[in-house]
Amino acid sequence: MSVKISPLVEAVAFPPIAEAMSWVKPKPGNRALLNMCQAVPSYPPAEKLQAEIARLAHAPNTGGYTDIFGIAPLRTAYAKHMSEDYVTTIDAANVAITTGCNQAFSAAIMAIAKAGDNVIIPAPYYFNHQMWLTMMGIEIRSIPAFSESVKHPLAANAAPLIDARTRAIILCTPNNPTGAIYPASELQAFFKLAQSANIMLILDETYKDFRPDAAAPHQLFNQPNWEQTLIQLYSFSKIYALAGYRLGAMLAGPEILHEAAKILDCMTICPPHITQRAVEFGLTELEDWKTEKKLVMKHRLAALRQSFETPGLNYKLVSSGAYFAYVKHPFAEDSKSVAKRLAQDNDLLCLPGTMFGPDQESFLRLAFANVGAERMVELSERLLESQK
Ligand SMILES: Cc1ncc(COP(=O)(O)O)c(C=O)c1O
């Protein structure tokens, strides 16, 4: 007799990073792996932040729960940060601190949709978005995330897919997996579409800190009644190199937050207390460190783009930015077998496009934040080697 499993969960593919890691088989003579599989920075948190975390471990009450949406000073500090970064006014009452951005996404979806509903999401998409939606029994209707001529999704493609059971459009910018940064004007068009259809626009901006310039990413928070349409998500994992410490945030209106509180309470009761206090410190004390790290990523991106200029290289860089490069491989094979071969024969670990949605057999995602600029030459060398 076999164990009875929920068919919704069973239908979802096993977590991609874990699967890809299993392809790497250390052999004598292996070179150091170029690990471009997971979107993590290669460096630890700032020294000052590490010291603060150590101090907090000894501070009174940091082992206790906090409010469901996190501690008030952090909600206030994050609202201030977002107000400055997006040149707007965000109220602390609109902030829910969460146990990572994935939890913020899960709670946002659960608050607005149920099994049998549908959402619109450009493909390729972030696999955890797809996994959660599928486990919830929510239908995914996809539009292209890019075309030959336009490197971002178009609101005009989403409009015909909306029906009475559509609950949201989901966008991620800078995008995982393509790295594309969506223009403010297109985000505005998606917002207007969602508003006119009375559905939500869920915007995952986990990689906002790695955009190429300091201009506000969009004007959506300056729209009258933005809270009726927008749920904005963020992660503290990347910019603070705190992925394992688990902290994210949701910005939303009172009706969504009221429902999200029920979900977050059941999931984790509160976000990790020490991490909240650490990020409160980080939001005010680490500006120089963050500026330095943004520059490090800019150099890595420039070096990666340069490596795709290598003569004879038949892999084509389709899109890149923030933490990611999306690459068309030159083989008639499926991207999964190409990625496996790169891992086993060429010591390069990346994810196949097929892990990010339909029609992605020709693509690979390189998450390059984990690899120093000086190693991007090795990237083109190993890709060239795989062509032989
Ligand atoms: C688009 C996107 N959203 C959310 C996450 C997860 O963020 P967190 O670590 O805060 O849960 C990731 C991590 O890779 C991501 O790429």
User: Tokens 């339909």 map to which residue?
Assistant: 358
Spans of all domains in the chain: 7-44+289-386, 47-285
Output b/e per residue, 77-88; b: 16+ Cβ within 10 A. Answer: bbbebbeebbeb
Compute how many other C-beta atoms are within 10 angstroms of the C-beta atom of residue 272: 20
Q: How far is the CA of 48 from the centre of ligand 1 (A)?
A: 24
Mutation probe of ligand 1 site: the residue of 121, 125, 176, 323 with most atoms within 8 A of C-beta: 176
Q: Give the residue ranges of DSSP H helices in 162-217.
A: 184-197
Which ligand 1 atom is at minimum distance from the Cα of 103? Answer: 11
From the CB of 78, is ligand 1 less than 6 Å away? no
From the CB of 39, is ligand 1 less than 6 Å away? yes
Q: How far is the CA of 2 from the centre of ligand 1 (A)?
A: 34
Say which CATH architecture domain 7-44+289-386 belongs to.
Answer: Alpha-Beta Complex (3.90)
pLDDT along the chain (388 residues), means of 10: 93 92 83 93 97 97 97 98 98 98 98 98 98 98 94 97 98 98 98 98 98 96 98 98 98 98 98 98 97 97 98 97 97 97 95 96 97 96 96
* Integer CA distances (angstroms), 149 to 312, 354, 359, 360, in order: 24, 22, 17, 17
Cα 211 from Cα 197, distance rounded (Å): 30
Exposure of 32 by Cβ count < 10 A (0-12 exposed, 13-18 middle, 19+ buried)?
Answer: exposed
Q: The whole model's pTM is what?
A: 0.97
**CATH code given to domain 47-285:** 3.40.640.10
